[in-house]
Amino acid sequence: MHTLAFLLGMLVPKAHAILNTVGSGGAGVDDMWTTICNTFPAAFCNLGANAPEYIAGIVVDFVFAVIVGIGVLVIIFAGLRLIFAAGNEEATADAKKIITYALLGIVLALMAEAIKTFVIVVVERAAG
């Protein structure tokens, strides 16, 4: 947790400095991406106009993987609670409820991924 706070503490001043200079050159978004690529050289800077789409895709895929991973861990936890309930009906009902909600979360994440893919296909067809 301290590492995350440290990294955010380093990035916020750089991001603030970049945002203060955006638009001052008059080039708008192109000027912003040039400034970002000069400050944080990375492979996505060579993508040109597709860089924001690429970065958004990476973020969405990461969030999807985290949600599904947490859902699987919660199902494992609830399964262990179900095993250790040893016939206690209240504990068994709670474990089953946890499994149901975790599965619902995974299904919603899968639906969100499908909607994202559908929107990308529709936008690509409309653009080209």
**pTM, whole model, 2 decimals?**
0.58
Give per-residue pLDDT as tens, 65-84. Answer: 999 999 999 999 999 999 99
What residue spans of the chain are helical by DSSP H?
2-21, 29-39, 51-84, 89-127
Asked if 37 and 12 touch (Cβ cutoff 8 Å), the reply is no
- What angle separates helix 29-39 from helix 2-21, to the nearest 10 degrees? 140
Low-confidence ranges of the chain (pLDDT < 70): 1-29, 33, 40-51, 128
Q: What is d(CA 3, CA 14) in angstroms, rounded to the nearest whole number?
A: 17
User: In the structure encoding, which two tokens stand for residue 105, read together?
Assistant: 């979360």
Domain boundaries, the chain: 1-41, 47-128
- What angle separates helix 51-84 from helix 89-127, to the nearest 10 degrees? 160
